[in-house]
Amino acid sequence: MPQTRSWRAQRVIDRLPKKLSRQVVASLVGCVHCGMCTESCHYVLSNPGDPTFAPAYKADQLRKFFKRHYDWTGRVFPWWVKAKSLYTDEDLEQLKDTAFGKCTNCRRCTINCPMGVDIATLNRLTRGLLTHVGVVPEGVAVVSKDQWEIGNQMGVLKEDYIDTLEWVSEELEDELDDTWQGIPVDKMDADVVFSINPREVKYDPRSISDAAKVFHVAQENWTMPSECWDMTNFGLFSGDDELGGAASRRLYEKVAELRGKTLVISECGHGYRSTRCEGQNWGQTDVAFPMESHVLTMLRYVHEGRIKVDRTKNSIPLTFHDSCNNARSCGFYEEPRELLKLVTTDFREMYPNRAENYCCTGGGGAMSMSEYTPRRLKSAKVKAEQLKATGAKVVVTSCHNCVDGLADLIKHYKLDMKVTQLVNLVAEALVPLERPKHFEVKPAEKAAALPLAGYKILVVDDEPDELTFLCMVLEDNGATVLRAEDGDTALQIAREQKPHLMTLDLSMPGRSGVEVYSEIRNDAVLKQLPVCIVTGRPELRQVLYKQAVRPPEGYVDKPVDEEKLLRNVRKILEIEAGTD
């Protein structure tokens, strides 16, 4: 009796021939099962003994039903070549687990295959077939939806994006010279159109700020688009060429609309690969303007003498992690090293490196698939060992995905390391401007209409998104914001800068907020500093009140309500004003 087939399985089988190119077919029929790819995969190395992680095994999951339907031996004698069709939704779920949960499409197996089988491309094809019928991890579905509907993969609204650019611009007023006029948005005929990763808007505005600083010092004629600014592309991860093409076209068309001369792509491996290489192929479109990584732009600035850098400003021992998409799919690995050596003094090469480097383990969209997190972190063992062996204190990478992947594994394996990007190091190494603008907080000179104008507030929180949000709210209301991500830094800034108020998170790694609070209250200089506790752990409130010290002046629960926060801050500062 013939086996019945679910409609999803049928659609996957029907879809397959539409996605077959000559390269793909050659890769499907060319594998000899020699097993040479096995040890090239970080999943295998971290999970010895489990053959389901072997690259050839993973590729065979697609090969099986290809052979059953499109290859003659597989059609006539399926058992002889292990050909097998897909029948049920459970078969698809199993395929999903392999294609999304056991591979980051890092392409390390591909370059280690004696036959030249492009295993990573086969895995992406499998993902695309599954995406077509909606069998994808929830995170991938959500992110893809945001990219389709909102135009960027993190669902950042236009107002929030513009707000961020505005406050980054305002912040830079303090640091840059008088010619700084803010980040230019939608400027026509710019020499450089700068596109970014939405993660920078949401969690890492410092990288936007640092990039802006570099552009400004280099006196670049640059701009950022108000819309269609996202250079990332979840089509690469979901295998959905339609999404890949649409997302790329949006950006290409925006650059053309602005009559930009060069599209510069901020440091992001998959964004660079998608925008620079794959987008034109997915979208079947040709692009008239050149595109380059921001790393290359910065390197050019140094070579052309447009910026001057002092490498002694970055003297901590550091190593470089090659993003898979940059190194193995775009050949982009020497330029970051060249730049790195110009802006740092203690660079240590990781081994293996360049195109042979191991994946950060957060690639291929893995960071958005929470259901596979334990597996991902277990598979990161080999990467952790690799990082540890360098003896470096900082790992530099040119990829936002890698930043998150590495930060996660560093935390998990308790490595004494931090992650940063080249743009941060270049900005740090920039020599002081010739016409620095001396900045001093003068409340009267600030926009008088803003309620917190003239007040210096120290925000302490270890969660980058929370920190960004709090800073944004307070700055929007006129405050000069100082920020700290841990207790020690907070105490140091408080002593040096003497803020009018501190907002303090209680749950932080290292010295907790409770300890910091006690120290403030017991410190002769700091004990009068008003503190507003901002925490998601209400039970810690009791701990604070049990201390034999003055209780905090304010208290705000997480998730933070903007109005409540401002009410608290205003109330505390009014009290202080009255006291003074």
Give SS3 for 482.
strand
Nearer to other proteins, 335 or 475 (CB): 335
Smallest separation (angstroms) from other proteins to the CB of 106: 13
Task: Report the distance separating Cα 291 and Cα 272, nearest Å.
Answer: 9
Nearer to other proteins, 289 or 545 (CB): 289
Tell which residue, 420, 483, 428, has the closest CA to residue 213. Answer: 428
Q: Which of 280, 345, 507, 518 binds other proteins (CB under 8 A)?
A: 280
Task: Report the distance separating Cα 235 and Cα 124, nearest Å.
Answer: 10
Smallest separation (angstroms) from other proteins to the CB of 269: 13
Q: Are 441 and 498 in contact (CB under 8 A)?
A: no
Smallest separation (angstroms) from other proteins to the CB of 56: 5
Stretch that binds other proteins, among 71-79, 154-162, 339-347, 558-566 (CB under 8 A): 71-79
Smallest separation (angstroms) from other proteins to the CB of 361: 14
Q: Are 320 and 397 in contact (CB under 8 A)?
A: yes
Each residue 339-358 as x (binds other proteins by CB under 8 A) or -, in order, gives ----------x-xxxxxx-x
Nearer to other proteins, 402 or 490 (CB): 402
Q: Which of 12, 16, 60, 212 binds other proteins (CB under 8 A)?
A: 60
Give SS3 for 83.
coil
Nearer to other proteins, 20 or 157 (CB): 20
Task: Report the distance separating Cα 54 and Cα 519, nearest Å.
Answer: 53
Q: Which of 266, 329, 368, 568 binds other proteins (CB under 8 A)?
A: 329
Say what the alpha-carbon torsion angle 215, 210, 395, 337 is, to the nearest 10 degrees.
10
Stretch that binds other proteins, among 25-33, 252-260, 415-423, 498-506 (CB under 8 A): 25-33
Q: Residue 385: exposed, middle, or buried by beta-carbon count in 10 A (0-12, 13-18, 19+)?
A: middle
Identify the H or E element spanning 457. Answer: strand 456-460
Smallest separation (angstroms) from other proteins to the CB of 250: 17
Smallest separation (angstroms) from other proteins to the CB of 351: 5
Smallest separation (angstroms) from other proteins to the CB of 38: 5
Q: Which residues ranging from 176 to 215 are in contact with other proteins (CB under 8 A)?
A: none
Each residue 107-146 as x (binds other proteins by CB under 8 A) or -, in order, gives ---xxxxxxxxx----------------------------
Q: Which of 8, 12, 13, 57 binds other proteins (CB under 8 A)?
A: 57
Q: Which residues ranging from 76 to 95 are in contact with other proteins (CB under 8 A)?
A: 79-82
Nearer to other proteins, 139 or 336 (CB): 336
Identify the H or E element spanning 34. Answer: none
Smallest separation (angstroms) from other proteins to the CB of 44: 6
Nearer to other proteins, 107 or 375 (CB): 107
Nearer to other proteins, 122 or 520 (CB): 122
Nearer to other proteins, 205 or 239 (CB): 239
Q: Which residues ranging from 5 to 24 are in contact with other proteins (CB under 8 A)?
A: 20-24
Q: Which residues ranging from 26 to 55 are in contact with other proteins (CB under 8 A)?
A: 26-27, 29-33, 35-40, 44-45, 48-49, 51-52, 54
Smallest separation (angstroms) from other proteins to the CB of 142: 29
Nearer to other proteins, 43 or 100 (CB): 43
Smallest separation (angstroms) from other proteins to the CB of 160: 31
Nearer to other proteins, 55 or 139 (CB): 55
Each residue 370-399 as x (binds other proteins by CB under 8 A) or -, in order, gives ------------x--xx--x----------
Q: Which residues ranging from 440 to 499 are in contact with other proteins (CB under 8 A)?
A: none
Q: Which residues ranging from 289 to 318 are in contact with other proteins (CB under 8 A)?
A: 290
User: What Cα–Cα distance (Å) separates residue 536 from each residue in 83, 306, 505, 531, 547?
Assistant: 53, 46, 8, 16, 20
HEC profile of 203-219: CCHHHHHHHHHHHHHCC
Nearer to other proteins, 70 or 555 (CB): 70
Nearer to other proteins, 265 or 506 (CB): 265
Give SS3 for 23.
helix
Smallest separation (angstroms) from other proteins to the CB of 277: 5
Q: What tokens were used for 227?
A: 């819309």
Nearer to other proteins, 58 or 202 (CB): 58
- Residues with Cβ within 8 Å of residue 481, at least 6 apart in sequence: 456, 457, 458, 459, 471, 474, 475
Task: Report the distance separating Cα 397 and Cα 360, nearest Å.
Answer: 10
Nearer to other proteins, 111 or 441 (CB): 111
Q: What are phi and psi of 347, to 5 degrees?
A: -95, 130
Query: What is the DSSP annotation of 147-182?
Result: HHHTSSTT---HHHHHHHHHHHHHHHHTTS-TT---
Task: Report the distance separating Cα 150 and Cα 141, nearest Å.
Answer: 14
Task: Report the distance separating Cα 250 and Cα 243, nearest Å.
Answer: 11
Smallest separation (angstroms) from other proteins to the CB of 374: 20
Exposure string for 225-245, b = 16+ CB within 10 A, e = fewer? bebbbbbbbbbbbbbbbebbb
Q: Which of 5, 6, 25, 160 binds other proteins (CB under 8 A)?
A: 25
Q: Are 195 and 208 in contact (CB under 8 A)?
A: no
Task: Report the distance separating Cα 422 and Cα 406, nearest Å.
Answer: 15
Interface with other proteins (CB under 8 A), residue total: 76
Q: Which of 285, 312, 373, 528 binds other proteins (CB under 8 A)?
A: 285
Task: Report the distance separating Cα 346 and Cα 21, nearest Å.
Answer: 46
Task: Report the distance separating Cα 52 and Cα 58, nearest Å.
Answer: 7
427 binds other proteins (CB under 8 A): no
Nearer to other proteins, 96 or 328 (CB): 328
In this structure, the chain runs to a length of 580
Q: At what angle do helices 119-132 and 7-15 cross, to 10 degrees?
A: 130
